[in-house]
Structure 1
Amino acid sequence: MAKKKESYEDKMERLEKVVAHMESSELSLDESIAKYEEGINLYKELSKLLQEAEGRIKLLNDNGEVDFAQE
């Protein structure tokens, strides 16, 4: 069975939970490293999604659409 693709918002919520857990808990070194790795991986996934969205917006702008950031 195929795994459901998580949305940007779902990934961001997971990252926020990881950060909150790291800030509020006394974790062992191994747990801290595992949470840090999870957070870094989520950050990379989120960054990739944002870059893809930016590329799609740029493509639309290059095709005659107005750049809303310059208005």
Structure 2
Amino acid sequence: MAKKESYEEMLIKLQEILNNLENDELNLEESMKSYEEGVKLINKIYKVLDSYEAKISIIKEEKEVEFNDGDGDK
């Protein structure tokens, strides 16, 4: 089973792709393949960020409820 790439690993891989595209040493076919791989990586990165954003929203809501429950209305 393939190991799932971490967010940081995906960013490093994306930077490598960008460096390869910028150095002009790839032919057109290789450039297109690298570009496609980069777009796929960006989509994965966005999914990870969306997941983290959703988790943060849930945690934030839970903490706001806890704070409001203990507001001292005694």
TM, length-normalised to structure 2 = 0.82
Deviations along 1:1-27, one digit per CA (max 9) or x if unpaired, are x11111000000000000001001332
Q: Which runs of 4+ in 1 moved over 6 A?
A: none
Identity of aligned residues (%): 36
Work out which of the two has the higher radius of gyration on C-alpha atoms and give 1 or 2.
2
- The correspondence of residues 15-54 of structure 1 with structure 2, limited to 5 A, is 15-54=14-53
CA distance in 2 between partners of 1:64 and 1:8 (Å): 26
The two structures have a TM-score, normalised by structure 1, of 0.85
Deviations 1:28-50 (A, max 9, x none): 11111000001000000001000
Partner of 2:70: none
Aligned residue pair count: 64
1:29 and 1:17 mapped to 2: Cα distance?
A: 17
Name the structure 2 match of 1:63: 62
For structure 1, list consecutive stretches of 5 or more residues without a partner in the other structure: 66-71
